[in-house]
Structure 1
């Protein structure tokens, strides 16, 4: 059975940007797109209000995905697009749909005046519990934003893709996260920028200064560990040019900074079976809220 890229759509600008990204990704992968519109039933007294009657709600719940699917087919010829509308809790319905999906794509509002995302409760719940990779796309994200600048200094879809950025924690490596990033870079015919941020343990600090020799030893160890973690994947994807970066400092801060020059940022999330709460880790949480490029969260054991 052909796997599908699913995009959650509610008619908002951010969800429309997510649908456009999903269609572009579907073309790269040769996969179909399914637009999923989830309508959450309202309490009965509200449902009886004249402007929110059953016929009105049904009309819009069907019109939003249908019209969006027609538009995607016109703008992305060759991509198979279907639409479905369901009733239920959006986070639960999207997570259920993700069980058989290749990717799940969601939109996220941009922070006013600040580059990055505003991830709502539905988005966080889906990221925390979905079984397939989840991609968050900002409102206003366009195809050109993922490409290098042209000779006039403007990003253009006619130029090469910007690198894919991979955030790695060498103490919690998982092959699925690394492979996803390499695969995305290969599909885009671009490079991979592997970033591993780290901080000195407190006990290596000696008064107001740091032992520089000891610092260099620790920095060399982190660089060597990162190189070793990527060596197998360099061999598997020889066409992908890899840049390894293991600077000291906040891992989240380094990834957020790298996102300004990325086509996609890839991070991992350890699967936790507890049904309650949002468990995505502090680095992934920060990247989701502040990265300026689309972010893919890959769940792993």
Structure 2
């Protein structure tokens, strides 16, 4: 059975942008509909206050439905109002979804997301991929500009960038990146960051070559070997392989400049008391300007 694309909406501009992105993704992935639960704003209450919250949630859903249906007539929208704490409600909604799409809280004063506590909590706990979309994201932002420099939806899709940890290359993350590139007809840019060797000798997991160019060549050869099976599964996807010396956080932020989507992984094994997304994923969702897909893996 095909799973739906789910978007969480709360009436904010960024959640409406996320709903639009979810509708476009549903069309790309040939999903039957985009289900849209309204975010809860707190525990359910009796009386007039609870009735007011439910009324507001219905208005939010109607506005989101109208917004999406007007611009994406090929998508059937199934609205659902959920109650309870927002993060828990969204995590539960994601369990039966192909992916969950959320808006960020807004743009920071630098480059990308200023992610709210709800989005971060969902990213850290969801068992399915979560995509974060910034306020103001439009369909044309996923495409290259027209020859005259104006925004266009008739040009090709911008690259999908896949952040790959070659020390732990996870099938779930790689598969999501290849599939995202395939449904867009986009190029897949696979990026791995490696730390230059210490002057005191190679550390754990480092390739034992003192010469940085040779070390980069070794990492690139390893990447090619890891990706070969995926190239065979997705023969129509153009793949560009890149390795760069430096911290994974800074390398990924630079690599995602001008991209249409960044794909990163999050280890989902242990459930700590305070869920965390990991430093690399956290930096990506805070500082990258394009939508970011966070894919959980074991």
TM over 0.5, shorter chain: yes
Matched, 1:34 2:35: yes
Q: Please list the CA deviations of residues 100-122 of structure 1 after superposition, one character each: whole Å capped at 9, or x if unmatched.
A: 11010000033343211011111
Q: Which runs of 5+ in 1 are unaligned?
A: 207-211
Q: Please list the CA deviations of residues 264-292 of structure 1 after superposition, one character each: whole Å capped at 9, or x if unmatched.
A: 10000111332521322211110010011
- Corresponding residue number in structure 2 for 1:9: 9
> How many Å apart are 1:99 and its aligned residue?
1.1
Deviates more, 1:83-92 or 1:268-277: 268-277
Q: Please list the CA deviations of residues 46-75 of structure 1 after superposition, one character each: whole Å capped at 9, or x if unmatched.
A: x98xxx734432211111112211221221
Q: Please list the CA deviations of residues 30-57 of structure 1 after superposition, one character each: whole Å capped at 9, or x if unmatched.
A: 111011113234697xx98xxx734432
Matched, 1:281 2:278: yes
**Cα distance in structure 2, aligned partners of 1:273 and 1:215:** 35
- Corresponding residue number in structure 1 for 2:249: 252
Contact 2:193 2:243 in 1 (8 A): yes
Where do 1:99-114 residues align within 5 Å?
99-114=95-110
**Cα distance in structure 2, aligned partners of 1:144 and 1:24:** 11
Equivalent residue in structure 1 for 2:111, among 87, 90, 115: 115
Paired residues in the alignment total 292
**Cα distance in structure 2, aligned partners of 1:63 and 1:9:** 11
**Cα distance in structure 2, aligned partners of 1:152 and 1:285:** 36
> How many Å apart are 1:201 and its aligned residue?
3.2
Where do 1:1-301 residues align within 5 Å?
1-31=1-31, 32-41=33-42, 53-204=49-200, 214-301=211-298
- Corresponding residue number in structure 2 for 1:209: none
Contact 2:40 2:89 in 1 (8 A): no
Normalised TM-score (structure 2) = 0.92
Q: Which runs of 5+ in 2 are unaligned?
A: 203-208
Q: RMSD of the alignment, in Å?
A: 2.1
Contact 2:17 2:133 in 1 (8 A): yes
Aligned in 2, Cα 1:43/1:235: closer, same or farther, shift over 3 Å?
A: closer
